[in-house]
Amino acid sequence: MRPVSVVGIGQTPVLKEHSESLRQLGARAVRMALEDANVDDVDALYLANMLGDELQGQKHVAALVADEAGLRGVEALHLRAATASGAAALRVGYLAVASGAADVVVVAGVEKMNAPGVTPVLAKALDAEREVPDGATLVSQNARLMRWYFRAYNPPQDALAPFAVIAHRNASRNPLAMFHKPDLSVADVMDSRLISPPIRLYDCAPISEGAAAVVLAPASQARTFSDRPVNLLASSVATDRFRIEDRDKPLELAAARLSAQRALQQAQLAIEDVNFFEAHDAFTIMTCLLLEAVGFAAPGEGWRLAEGGDISLEGRIPLSTMGGLKARGHPIGATALYQVCEIVLQLTGRAGDNQLPDPRRALMQSVGGAGVTVITHLFGLQNAA
């Protein structure tokens, strides 16, 4: 396999609502990434979008965005893995370049969610036969995990709230983030509305709109496109039993553990080699479980990383450094591409007020459903790889 680099990035602001259509918004991010990489054309577009079928009535979105972006004759495929769809597209872009089938590809994600009926559409990430009829939603499934976590480990009632506080603090210095609330407090989180007990409003990522894209090329050619290419060191997908009640140890997030192990093995790295973690922090409980699954904390101890400041920008393992899904926003199909853009900004010293001191390697995870599909990617500055 050929080593693969990220040689261009493009991200629109994450907003509650964008005025552009799905096609236009996606094409804008694609063109931004092409411009950043200084390329006019690519071999392929791999596009992620989860909700366009119902919310925009669009099922052929990859070809539609390719056309709108002016990419003529290009390969265009649409990737999905529920709420991990963006990372699924990145995975396929990686395979295309690593295999030699393509040289330069663009991977993009777009989502417009500010539409009536978004909640039942999101619930289609669950099993329509065995989960949804019981009233399950993505929120209620995460609420079950959170109840089980508190029952198993008995942490303080506000143990997870600092995850939200730190995410909002990071987002407040990211001009593209949806929220800018630097002073959100643990008390604000604990006073917020109960959505699905014990999950409160500030435990959840928001409904968002946005698009982001990255250009991939062979690492050996990367410097023709970019002064500071970032290598994609590993790419891995794992799944767990679909229903959480079918899992032996649901708090262990077996797919997160497995895909992280596979990715670290591919890159021949240990978890200690990772300097920061762009996590799929759609719910505070998911953040905590991911930290434990990938090995940053022992089981039952993930919440202590937030309490102690280890995950802040100055800490041992900075988390979701530009605000994460929680506060940068979570336009689903685009989310993983925002994560890649942010990782590239950090590794190349362009993260502005949120810049980490000399980060070398980043771990990124995306979660489809309630821990069903977990996709892990590892990145490193080309010199550090």
- Give residues with Cβ within 8 angstroms of 248, minimum separation 6: none
**Residue 40: how many CA atoms within 13 Å on its side-chain side?**
1
- The phi, psi pair for 130, rounded to 5°, reads -120, -5
Q: Which stretch binds a copy of itself (CB under 8 A): 128-136, 165-173, 272-280, 312-320?
A: 128-136
From the CB of 94, what's the least distance to a copy of itself, in Å?
8
From the CB of 269, what's the least distance to a copy of itself, in Å?
17
**Of 98, 145, 104, 142, nearest to 122 (Cα)?**
142
Count how many residues are written for the chain.
385
**Of 370, 118, 164, 159, nearest to 253 (Cα)?**
370
Among the listed residues 56, 140, 170, 287, the single contact to a copy of itself using CB under 8 A: 56
Q: How far apart are CA 147 and CA 228, in angstroms?
A: 44
Q: How far is CA 362 from CA 3, 55, 271, in A?
A: 16, 33, 10
Whose tokens are 């200084």? That residue is: 38
- Give residues with Cβ within 8 angstroms of 378, minimum separation 6: 232, 233, 234, 263, 264, 266, 267, 269, 274, 361, 362, 363, 364
Among the listed residues 29, 33, 42, 81, the single contact to a copy of itself using CB under 8 A: 81
Q: How far is CA 287 from CA 39, 83, 136, in A?
A: 36, 15, 20
Amino acid code (one letter) for 358: D
From the CB of 375, what's the least distance to a copy of itself, in Å?
9
For position 109 contacting a copy of itself by CB under 8 A, the verdict is no
From the CB of 266, what's the least distance to a copy of itself, in Å?
9
176 or 217: CB nearest a copy of itself: 217
Among the listed residues 231, 236, 346, 365, the single contact to a copy of itself using CB under 8 A: 236
Among the listed residues 18, 28, 91, 200, the single contact to a copy of itself using CB under 8 A: 91
| Contact yes or no for 26/108 (Cβ under 8 A) | yes
From the CB of 101, what's the least distance to a copy of itself, in Å?
6
For position 54 contacting a copy of itself by CB under 8 A, the verdict is yes
The 351-380 contact track toward a copy of itself, x by CB under 8 A, reads -----------------xx--xx-------
For position 213 contacting a copy of itself by CB under 8 A, the verdict is no
For position 127 contacting a copy of itself by CB under 8 A, the verdict is yes
For position 275 contacting a copy of itself by CB under 8 A, the verdict is no
From the CB of 245, what's the least distance to a copy of itself, in Å?
12
Residues interacting with a copy of itself, by CB under 8 A?
A: 1, 21, 23, 44, 50, 53-54, 56-60, 62-64, 66-68, 71-82, 88, 91-92, 95-96, 98-101, 121, 124-129, 132, 235-243, 246, 254-255, 258, 368-369, 372-373
